[in-house]
Amino acid sequence: MYLQILAALQYCHSQCITHRDIKLENILLDDRYNVKLIDFGFSTKIPNEKKVKIFCGTPSYMAPEIVEKKEYSGPPADIWASGVLLYALLCGNFPYKGTTDEELYAKICACSPRLPDHLS
């Protein structure tokens, strides 16, 4: 399943489309367990190398550069979110947690997730 998510992102990025809201809720499976990427409401179609300063997405999945409100290229932000998604699929929770958005953002910017013992 995860490889299909990456393949969908690769296709989107090859078309200069950045999703900007990769998360579990935006991944569907059809009756043959094929991945369907949905909800392109935050997506953009701009050259992949062009940097933007768009603050959007779901907080737990946001890349550090988005959280820090810096300019960033879209595809790496999607890849970051897909890594958070993989962590959540393997561990059953998010790599970064906070009681407030500010606390969550500080942990995301520190970039030091802790793997559960069974994955270490």
Q: Which tens digit of pLDDT belongs to each residue from 64-112?
A: 999 999 999 999 999 999 999 999 999 999 999 999 999 999 999 998 8
pLDDT confidence bin for 28, thresholds 50/70/90? very high
Tell which wins on pLDDT, 118 or 6. Answer: 6
Task: Say if 119 falls within a structural domain.
Answer: no
Over residues 16-36, mean pLDDT: 97
Q: Is residue 93 part of a domain?
A: yes
Domain that holds residue 56: 2-113
Q: Which of 24, 29, 25 is nearest to 86 (CA)?
A: 24
Indicate whether 42 belongs to any domain: yes
CATH number (domain holding residue 48): 1.10.510.10
- What pTM was computed for the model? 0.92
Does the residue 23 lie in any domain? Answer: yes
Nearest C-alpha neighbor of 45 from the set 27, 23, 70, 19:
19
Q: What's the pLDDT at 120?
A: 65
- Has residue 119 got a pLDDT over 80? no
Task: Look at residue 102 and tell me if it is in a domain.
Answer: yes
Q: Is residue 118 part of a domain?
A: no
Residues above pLDDT 90, as percent of the chain: 90
Q: Catalytic annotation on 39?
A: no
User: What pLDDT score was predicted for residue 115?
Assistant: 80
Looking at the structure of the chain, the number of domains it has is 1
